[in-house]
């Protein structure tokens, strides 16, 4: 019989379905952080985030919107800057996030990227975004595009977030808000509702399981951390052996 020579079984866990079924689900409102990517006085990415927050509030969530004004450029100062600390604290507080950027030169804005860059992949041994859910949105001044949301998806994956399938892209955003800065009824608005509903569902499904969902064999091995359930079932091991022949 042939076995995988590089596979160290002491770090390999069988899938624990009990940990995928939260025995005691959290009962507090889902905590959602919303980020927007423009400092304009009438920022349409901010208006869209505010509309999304209203929907999330109706869906029973607790929301926080981060104001990026006065946030320094990445590496221009240390992480002890008050705005950086505020952003990082909110990120750790959150169970899900909404990122909304205007499209600038076919990509996200510098304001949006600066916020994401100030949230590191790791602080000590803690990953501030790992396992959190994410919804992505964009606003455009012209015809509909998906460049910004595609970039946000890439960044969400890099930050090890659970990015939901649905997304929102609002074209000619200046036409979609009334004089009271509320979003007009439209298919764009309906899509925002769809996205927020999906974000809440994914957050409720994953927030009590996030630590287990992102637990990785390679990291357990690198850290010398033995898996909680080391022994694989005989059938599973036999399947591995047969596959290796």
State the average pLDDT over residues 120-124: 73
User: In this structure, are 129 and 204 located in the same domain?
Assistant: yes
The secondary element (H helix, E strand) that includes residue 167 is none
pLDDT in tens, 43-80: 999 999 999 999 999 999 999 999 999 999 999 999 99
Dump the DSSP string for 192-224.
HHHHHHHHHHHHHHHTTTHHHHT--HHHHHHHT
Beta pairing, strands 133-139 & 168-170: parallel
Same domain for 232 and 212: no
Say if residue 2's pLDDT is above 60.
no
Say if residue 149 is in the same domain as residue 237.
no
Cβ count within 10 A of residue 121: 11
Closest residue by Cα to residue 142 from 42, 2, 44, 24 = 44
Asked if 86 and 123 count as a contact pair (C-beta separation under 8 A), the reply is: no
Domain count of the fold of the chain: 2
Whether pLDDT at 7 is above 80: no
CB 171 within 8 A of CB 143: yes
Clarify whether residues 156 and 40 are in a common domain: yes
User: For position 41, which CATH number holds?
Assistant: 3.40.50.360
Decide if 160 is inside a domain: yes
Is the CA virtual torsion 160, 164, 30, 114 positive or negative?
positive
pLDDT at 91: 94
| pLDDT reported for residue 74 | 94
**Burial of 12 by CB count in 10 Å (0-12 exposed, 13-18 middle, 19+ buried)?**
buried
Do 212 and 236 have their domain in common? no
Query: Are 140 and 74 members of one domain?
Result: yes
CA-closest candidate to residue 132, choices 92, 96, 100? 96
Q: Using one digit for the tens of pLDDT, what is the confidence trace for 19-43? A: 777 668 899 999 999 999 999 999 9
pTM for the whole structure = 0.85
The CA–CA distances, whole Å, from 100 to 25, 153, 218 equal: 29, 11, 33
For residue 235, pLDDT beyond 50:
no
Average pLDDT of the segment spanning 120-137: 82
- Region 95-99: what's the mean pLDDT? 98
pLDDT digits (tens, 9 = 90+) for 139-164: 998 888 899 999 999 999 999 999 99
If you average pLDDT over residues 180-207, what whole number do you get?
Answer: 96
Provide the domain limits for residue 239: 9-16+228-244
């Amino acid at each position: 019989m042939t076995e995988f020579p590089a596979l160290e079984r002491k770090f390999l866990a069988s899938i624990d379905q009990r940990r995928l079924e939260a025995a005691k689900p959290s009962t507090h409102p889902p905590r959602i952080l919303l980020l927007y990517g423009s400092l304009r006085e009438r920022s349409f990415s901010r208006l869209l985030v505010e509309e999304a927050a209203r929907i999330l509030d109706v869906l029973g969530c607790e929301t926080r919107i981060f104001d990026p004004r006065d946030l320094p450029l990445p590496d221009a100062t240390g992480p002890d800057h008050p705005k950086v600390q505020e952003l990082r604290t909110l990120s750790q507080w959150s169970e899900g996030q909404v990122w909304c950027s205007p499209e600038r030169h076919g990509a996200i804005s510098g304001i949006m990227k600066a916020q994401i860059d100030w949230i590191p992949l790791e602080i000590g041994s803690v990953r501030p975004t790992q396992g959190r859910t994410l919804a992505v949105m964009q606003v455009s001044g012209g015809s509909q595009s998906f460049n910004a949301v595609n970039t946000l998806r890439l960044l969400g994956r890099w930050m090890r977030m659970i990015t939901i399938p649905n997304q929102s892209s609002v074209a000619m955003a200046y036409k979609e808000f009334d004089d009271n800065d509320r979003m007009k009824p439209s298919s764009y608005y309906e899509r925002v509702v769809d996205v927020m509903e999906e974000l809440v569902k994914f957050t409720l499904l994953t927030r009590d399981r996030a630590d287990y969902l992102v637990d990785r064999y390679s990291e357990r091995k690198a850290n010398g951390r033995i898996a909680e359930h080391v022994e694989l079932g005989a059938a599973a091991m036999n399947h591995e052996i047969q596959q290796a022949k």
